Amino acid sequence: MVESRHRAAYAVADPGGTVVLHAGDISRPVYPRSAIKPLQALALLETGAAEAFQLGDAEIALACASHGGEPRHVDTVAAWLARIGCGVDDLECGAHLPSTQQAMLDLIAGGGRPSALHNNCSGKHAGFLSIARHLGYPTAGYIAHEHPVQQRVLGVLESMTGRDLGDAPRGIDGCGIPTLGMPLGNLALAMARLAAPDDQPEPRQGAAARVRRAMAAQPFLVAGTGRFCTKIMEVTGERALVKTGAEGVYCAALTKLGLGVALKVDDGAGRAAEVLMGRLLLHLGAIDEAEAEALAETLSPPVLNRAGRRVGELRAKPI
């Protein structure tokens, strides 16, 4: 018996803005949440901040990450902050326990406490601070919609989505920055342009290539141990760059196919967003049958009970 059911909408677009596949209402705005971190990271490249601070794949991948708060995530962000003359107190994202359970247990068992470095968004925030430092803006208040860093990011988002976001519904994300409502169709277009920015101006093309390369090179830093984003990109590399967001949002930039994908589960469930993204990747040919076989437990995860017995599974309907 199917116990619970999720509904979702999704859009697959090409860089010209043509929606080549969709389901549900893709014109209604959704908050993209962390799924647009790879787009926000473009500002880190385009402002020259990444070059000025000699950021490598690790830092750029972390700017795109919702990481698990594992030691390598935390240590890399801490070193990055030091490099730009900032520290954990400059992060305005708030603290939370590491998202990866083992990292959380290790931290607490060792007498530690979660800091803003463990916040899954700390890399994105280090990126914002880097932009502020590089352009000479005050770092305090960098999460405010009116701060020049957020305005710069807004410009990138408007350009990539092809949509004026001035009157977009505006919420506050889990990490304190603004999140702006945008239709899935526009979000898919932005991801298509990240995948294949040939018609974009040159600085954008280079920035997109740099973000793609970093995510593909450092899939662990984009998420963490056992996480869907990481496991997919460990197999696909740059061919399928996937990024999760809170409340059931998932985006993908399919470089080889030149397509962008954006989906939102109506009820906000991440478990459903993952299996739907997996189904779309397979349907679109971004992963092949052999890869799907190897990723079987990721694409259709078992449900285990407390004693470890397999009692069910999650699965997406065929497209």
Q: Which residues contact its own copies by CB under 8 A? A: 1, 3-7, 29-31, 92-96, 105, 108-109, 111, 119, 121, 169, 171-176, 181, 247-248, 265-269, 272, 305-309, 311-312
Task: Give the integer Cα–Cα distance in Å for 215 and 230.
Answer: 9
Least distance CB 118 / its own copies (angstroms): 10
Say whether 244 sits in a helix, a strand or coil.
Answer: strand
Residue whose CB is less far from its own copies, 12 or 143 = 143
Least distance CB 129 / its own copies (angstroms): 16
Least distance CB 312 / its own copies (angstroms): 7
Least distance CB 173 / its own copies (angstroms): 7
Residue whose CB is less far from its own copies, 82 or 303 = 303
Long-range contacts of 291-295 (CB under 8 A, 24+ apart): 291/235, 291/236, 294/235, 295/231, 295/232, 295/235
Q: How far is CA 279 from CA 72, 185, 232, 249, 299, in A?
A: 30, 19, 12, 15, 7
Residue whose CB is less far from its own copies, 8 or 257 = 8
Least distance CB 94 / its own copies (angstroms): 3
Report CA dihedral (227, 230, 231, 232) to the nearest 10 degrees. Answer: 120
Angle of helix 184-195 relative to helix 37-46, nearest 10 degrees, comes to 50
Residue whose CB is less far from its own copies, 41 or 249 = 249
Residue whose CB is less far from its own copies, 45 or 153 = 153
